[in-house]
Amino acid sequence: MKKTLSLGLAILLVLSLLPAAMAEGDTVTLSMFSVKGPLHGAWEDMPFFSEMEKITGVNFTFDLVDASALAERKALLLGSGDLPDVMAGVGFTDGELLQYGSMGAFLPLEDYITEEYMPNLTAFLEDHPEYRAMMTSADGHIYSLMYISAAPRDAAYYKTWINKEWLSALNLEVPKTLDELYNVLIAFRDNDPNGNGEADEIPLSYRELPMFRAAILAANGIAGTNAGNADLYLDSDNNVQYIFTSEAYKAYLEYVHKLYTERLLDNECFSQTTAQLTAKGNESLIGCFVALASYLVDTTDHVSLYDSIPPMTSSMNEEQIEWRNWLGYTGRYALSATCSDPAAALRWADYLFTYDGAALLSQGPEGLGWYYVDDTRTYWNKNVPEGYGSSEEYRGTLTPDCGTPMVGYIPPEFLGYLAASHVVDLENHVAKSYTPYLKDGYPRVKLDADAQEIVTTYYTDIDKYVTACEARFISGDMQLSQWDEYVSNLESMHLEDYLKVYADAYAAYQTQN
């Protein structure tokens, strides 16, 4: 790697640069690689970055990539060794951090999370030591910092929404089972619930297949995870199993294929962008969808149109299950070994572990899109300038946090006191429909270098095959009569060896916790 230093030399470099940079008052310019979200304006014009420059003396130039191209660009970047100063919001996996960190591509940060260099993060980790463990790789080094957004509403990630005015118009109730959902979708398709005399209703749509898949799998009895091992679950005997060869997944494929062929599922959902989905949603044309919040598909003015569907059940499962969302995102802020000013990069990130830094990251500068309701700086509200369809659309011009989790800690003390009616509505829906059913899936585990090598060797081919087959099963290009052949092909890709790594890691996790 042409710009990669040895681990020891990288540490010496940081030690030599940190004190000098901390004392420096001039603006430092660093390069950043990150991900541009669908609602983002130009990052160079975001008030968040200009305000951070005033506070920390750090300016950035940006190399941005769309989420759809991230995997390819990330692989090219790591393979070349020609790294920018900072890689933020990229979402490096534990395996990537361990592999490339041990090779010297990333600076190890554990010796610099101190009161001298990062006082705010240091204090935070003293109060929340579990996050230090999450950031620490199996070799004992911290190669990347975290992003944590601790809103209670975010503990339930996979929320399903339904147009309750359409339900009322057709004298229907919120579905409790997958069979009931199917019947409701048929009614939405055939009976003109919006009353305009046109067959323009879209019974069901979404943009992110994993979110919809999770809702159906939960109805079939599987509590999965979004903790980096989204293909694993624990069976009733607490054994580690692979989701994509389970009977619950097979039943999911059969169900979604039926929705697809009967025009109950928006056939554009596999390729549509966020903008295309929200264009349909803003016209209130979608009867049912899966999203973090209803106002992310329809507008904030229309939150009263939608009811949340609590976890459904099925003929396979009578328990209501909501997958618990991990509120911390690892791999969010890494420094390259050739970072030109590590002290400045760390100083910039450290501010985002303060309350004011969290508010700035979450919403942008006070007065632009939001304001404190009173002098207590507790309750706050949003204001949206004319010309923007929603507060989120405007927030995307203010801060990258609207779509790209970067680094920092946004506490519940801030997030929980937003007085905006649409967010209060969301909190109420989560408390009613999801919090009572939260269930943990496969936990976060750490893999050593040997285990990680096995996973890295087999995962890519396995994942590509599963992804390709899922689309073919749903569309009908593959038949479920080919299920045994599909499973056999996965087994030939060393699925058993892949699973054994995680079974052993889970056994070790149980002895430590």
CA distance 159 to 427: 12
Give pLDDT, residue 185.
98
**Structure-token match 């966020």, residue found:** 274
CA distance 341 to 474: 50
Per the structure block, which two tokens stand in for 475? 């569309």
CA distance 512 to 106: 28
Query: Starting from the edge strand earliest in sequence, which strands make up the sheet with 306-309, in order?
Result: 202-205, 286-290, 160-163, 306-309
Phi, psi angles (nearest 5°) of residue 303: -60, -30
Task: Please give the angle made by the CA atoms of 205, 211 and 214, to the nearest 5 degrees.
Answer: 120
Give pLDDT, residue 226.
57
pLDDT (tens place) for every residue of the chain, 513 residues total: 333 333 343 333 333 334 334 444 589 999 999 999 988 999 999 999 999 999 999 999 999 999 889 989 999 999 998 999 999 999 998 889 999 999 999 999 999 999 999 999 999 999 999 899 889 998 999 999 999 988 888 888 879 999 999 999 999 999 999 999 999 999 999 999 999 999 999 999 988 788 889 999 999 999 876 555 679 999 989 999 999 999 999 999 999 999 999 999 998 888 888 889 989 999 999 999 999 899 889 988 899 999 999 999 999 999 999 988 878 889 999 999 999 999 999 999 999 999 999 999 999 999 999 999 988 888 899 988 999 877 889 999 999 999 999 999 999 889 888 888 888 899 899 999 999 999 988 888 888 889 988 998 999 899 999 999 999 999 999 999 999 999 999 999 999 999 999 999 999 988 876
What is the number of H-type helices and E-type strands within the chain? Answer: 19, 16
CA distance 150 to 411: 5
Evaluate whether 369 touches 398 at the Cβ level (below 8 Å): yes
CA distance 187 to 168: 12
CA distance 184 to 187: 5
Give pLDDT, residue 229.
65
Give pLDDT, residue 57.
97
Give pLDDT, residue 4.
36
Give pLDDT, residue 391.
84
Phi, psi angles (nearest 5°) of residue 60: -125, 145
Per the structure block, which two tokens stand in for 307? 């009811």
pTM score, whole prediction:
0.79
The distance from CA 427 to its chain's CA centroid, rounded to whole angstroms, is 19
CA distance 423 to 303: 9
CA distance 207 to 494: 31
Please enumerate in sequence order all residues whose Cβ is within 8 A of that of 273, keeping only pairs 6 or more positions apart, or say none: 38, 207
* Cβ neighbours, 10 Å, residue 513: 6
